[in-house]
Amino acid sequence: MKIEKAVITAAGKGQGDLPLQTLVDSDGTSRSALEIVLREALDAGVKEVALVVNPEDETPYREAAGDCREALTFLHQPEPRGYGHALALAEDFVGRDSFLHLVGDHLYVSNSDTGCARQLIDVASAKSCSVCAVQSTRETNLHLYGAVGGRRVAGREDWYEVECVMEKPTPTQAEQSLVVPGLRAGHYLCFFGLHVLSPAVLSLLKQLLSETDAPASISLSQALHLLLQQEKVMACEVSGDRRNIGIPYGIFHAQLALALRGVDRSSVLAELVETLADRQGASS
């Protein structure tokens, strides 16, 4: 399986300015959040990226893409009709190819020399199926993510065969349907914001959209649950962290994660220790 196309959704309500925020990347260079996400995809071997945006955002997004703009194709979602609808707009762009999917309000910080997207693509290539990146997540944060249930692949601690997918389940629903043997109590496998997807997912999304008068309610999780009836779907825990920049302190946490994995790690740590010491002294 060769993954050369990616789709990034960035047309959600309240999402417009998030990818335009400037952060210092791990190499010490100031970049927009959008360019950091685009580099994640292109460094993983992707050649073409479709960016789903509100039409009014195309010009600032093109400027914020920096050196990555040449790889971009813009797809327009004039009204915020939901995540599933936004992703389905990429059907013609994707064609018959499996593709990498990233969300525009997340940054991905690898714990190794291999980027999170590259790790995921390597698993998809090895298993020739759709693969969702997941992260063990406390049940208190289930309301923020889609989640999967399944069983570990024999001989692997980080690969799973998916048996159930739910969108933002309650703790009760998760306890009934999403328990994965081997995870800590009260933890579930929630979406990381990275997926390698079969093009069949987009057909299933369009089918779901045609059956409802409320397109904003259609999620990727619903389409993936249907895909399980047709194809194998796997999940893997990548070595890294997802940072949702759309939640309170999200930009701060993303910047801190990039700094602590980057070239300025020592100086950032020294300043953090000094700041904490000063505050401890002031409170004594």
Residue range 50-71, pLDDT digits in tens? 999 999 999 999 999 999 999 9
User: What average pLDDT does this structure show over 96-114?
Assistant: 94
The count of other CB atoms within 10 Å of the CB of residue 284 is 5
CA separation, residue 144 to residues 33, 71, 183, 273, 280 (Å): 20, 30, 19, 31, 33
Q: Specify the pLDDT at position 277.
A: 82
User: What average pLDDT does this structure show over 106-131?
Assistant: 95
Burial class (CB in 10 A: 0-12, 13-18, 19+), 79: exposed
pLDDT at 16 over 70: no
What is the model's pTM? Answer: 0.92
For 29-51, b/e burial (b = at least 16 CB within 10 A) is eebbbbbbbbbbbbebbbebbbb
Token look-up 């799973």 returns 160
Q: Specify the pLDDT at position 148.
A: 97
Task: In whole angstroms, give the CA distance from residue 127 to residue 159.
Answer: 10
User: What average pLDDT does this structure show over 122-133?
Assistant: 96
Q: Specify the pLDDT at position 87.
A: 96
What the chain holds in terms of domains, given with CATH numbers, is 5-283 (3.90.550.10)
Q: Specify the pLDDT at position 52.
A: 95
pLDDT at 275 over 90: no
Task: In whole angstroms, give the CA distance from residue 281 to residue 284.
Answer: 5
**Closest-CA residue to 163 (of 181, 150, 176):** 150
- Find all residues with CB under 8 Å of 259, minimum gap 6, and list them: 24, 26, 265, 268
Task: In whole angstroms, give the CA distance from residue 220 to residue 85.
Answer: 9
Q: Which of 7-11, 122-126, 242-246 is modeled with the greatest confidence?
A: 122-126
Task: In whole angstroms, give the CA distance from residue 137 to residue 142.
Answer: 7
**Closest-CA residue to 31 (of 71, 74, 70, 67):** 67
Phi and psi at 159, nearest 5°, equal: -115, 145
User: What average pLDDT does this structure show over 231-259?
Assistant: 93
CB–CB of 234/225 below 8 Å?
Answer: no
Q: Specify the pLDDT at position 284.
A: 59
Reading the block at residue 184, the tokens are 């800590």
